[in-house]
Amino acid sequence: MTQRKIIHIDCDCFYAAVEMRDDPSLRGVPLAVGGEGGRGVVTTCNYRAREFGVRSAMPGAEARRRCPDLVTVPPDMARYRAVSQQVMAIFRDLTDQVEPLSLDEAFLDVSDVESHHGSATLMAEYLRQRVRDEVGITVSAGVATNKFLAKIASDWNKPDGMFVLTPDKVDEFVRLLPVEKLFGVGRVTAGKLHALNIRTCGDLAQLKPEVLVDRFGRQGLRLFQMAQGQDDRPVVVTRNAKSVSVERTFSKDLPDKAACETVMTALVDDLAKRLARKGARKPIHKLFVKIRYSDFSTHTLERVREQILVPEPGDYAPLLDELIINTERPVRLLGLGVRFRNDEAPVTQLRLFD
């Protein structure tokens, strides 16, 4: 089997980078996108703000406490999507084997690309330069033989950097890698591994896979494979969306169910626009409604509704009636969406007595 050449490219502080590109006065200040108001949350921030400990998903109040001079701007998703399309188009000029993970990052399989002398390193440099010149932002790249290693490599020399992990360096690199760098290893899993005196992939690789499976279930086998630097996942060019949804967090709680009903029309309109952007219409299987109350408890209800082509506010009314038991309870977040029917899934006839 031919060894893969995978590039992972990640835009540096993407939303903040677009804002700084379009408003030069923001370039020299600590900047956060989002985080305004009493309940705002930082979506992303520039590296100047990160020096003060500001991070994505941090409440705006905490971010301002850490960085009193923090400048905040509201997110402009339409503008970020347009810039993302520019970046992805540059990637697709090189290869059609592109798997976007979000607006600001993607995997590319360049194994069969013959330009740039077939060198993934030269290709990554070429893409970084084109994005810098044509889009006006910087990206970081990782080059390796699989997706797992390429994604770690792209983070190694951020921002505006590149790291190439050649096959002969994989064993040494992975052996010293902290377990916190592994995909799916958060604080809880890392704590469990530390309790077993496992702090690096080298430590992890000493265990037998069955021991890890016994401790961590299916994730244990994945941990073992990553500790060996193994990852056979292909770059997936197309992904079928299983659902589409919209939600809105309110700066001031909606006081009751009646207030929720007044905003449903706007939410359904937003959903219709999002469905239209998806292009080809898929058969709808279910509708769902999501509510988060003022005490942060979250509830979701979904019901099969296969005769609906384009949802209307009235289609969601019965779900809202069923979901909201206490009509006077304040609501912090309201969302709704559709789940699509999977016509490619195999149909199985269940027997009554098997």
H/E stretch holding 304 reads strand 298-304
* Rounded-to-integer distance, Cα 43 and Cα 53, Å: 14
Helices assigned H by DSSP within the chain: 14-22, 47-50, 60-66, 77-94, 120-134, 147-154, 170-175, 187-195, 201-205, 209-216, 218-227, 257-277, 313-323
What are residue 102's DSSP bridge partners?
105
Local structure of residue 118 (DSSP, 8 states): G
Report yes or no: 35 and 59 within 8 Å, Cβ to Cβ.
yes
Q: Tell me which residue of 35, 29, 33 sits closest to 62, measured CA to CA.
A: 35
Report yes or no: 37 and 139 within 8 Å, Cβ to Cβ.
no
Residue 91: CB atoms within 10 Å? 23
H/E stretch holding 249 reads strand 243-254
Beta strands 31-34 and 139-144 are unpaired
> Where do we find the tokens 């005490």?
295
| Whether 105 is catalytic | yes
Exposed e or buried b for every residue in 285-322, given b needs 16+ CB within 10 A? bbbbbbbbbeeeeeeeebeebeeeeebebebbeebbee
Selecting among 51, 105, 134, 328, the annotated active-site residue is 105
Residues forming the active site: 105
